[in-house]
């Protein structure tokens, strides 16, 4: 099977090629979370942009260490607490209800698929 030109370019350039497309597209931002995620991707891209492949592996490995993940989750929970809990918002209740509903659906889905045959 012969690959076309675009597939070869994407394979050669790896993450950088696809990150440039998604980060620097001229789409409009619909909310602040879109802006935050776009800025986070830009930070990741700028950190690994000038590194060689061997250096990228060690950078990514250190980014997923247990200590890094613990501090990242702790910071996220503190931000959530400041944004929703301390302001007496109703959003945590909605997050809990819709999250529970989605979790139940995902847990029950395999059972439903097997029993429908």
Contact 47, 23 (CB under 8 A): no
Residue 95 lies in a domain: no
User: Does residue 44 belong to any structural domain of this protein?
Assistant: yes
Better-scored residue on pLDDT, 70 or 55: 70
Q: Name the DSSP letter for residue 7.
A: H
- 57 in a structural domain: no
Residue 74 lies in a domain: no
Rg, C-alpha atoms of the chain: 20
Domain that holds residue 42: 1-52
User: Is residue 34 a part of any domain in this protein?
Assistant: yes
What average pLDDT does the segment 98-111 reach? 91
Q: Does the pLDDT value for residue 26 go beyond 90? A: no
Model-wide pTM > 0.85: no
Annotate 52-111 with DSSP letters as a single string.
-HHHHHHHHHHHTSHHHHHHHHHHHHHHHIIIIITTT-SHHHHHHHHHHHHHHHHHHHHH
At 65, give phi and psi (nearest 5°): -70, 160
Given pLDDT bands bounded at 50, 70 and 90, which one contains residue 83?
very high
Return the pLDDT at 14: 46
Q: Is the per-residue pLDDT at 15 higher than 80?
A: no
Number of domain units in the chain: 1
107 within some domain? no
Is 41 inside any structural domain? yes
The answer to the question of residue 116 being in a domain is no
């Amino acid at each position: 099977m012969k690959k076309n030109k675009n597939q070869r370019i994407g394979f050669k350039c790896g993450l950088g090629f696809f990150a440039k497309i998604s980060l620097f597209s001229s789409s409009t931002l619909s909310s602040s979370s879109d802006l935050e995620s776009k800025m986070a991707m830009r930070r990741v891209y700028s950190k690994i942009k000038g590194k060689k492949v061997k250096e990228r592996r060690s950078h990514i490995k250190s980014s997923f260490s247990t200590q890094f993940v613990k501090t990242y989750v702790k910071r996220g929970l503190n931000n959530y607490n400041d944004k929703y809990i301390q302001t007496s918002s109703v959003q945590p209740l909605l997050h809990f209800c819709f999250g529970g509903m989605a979790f139940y659906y995902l847990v029950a889905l395999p059972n439903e698929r097997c029993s429908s045959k």
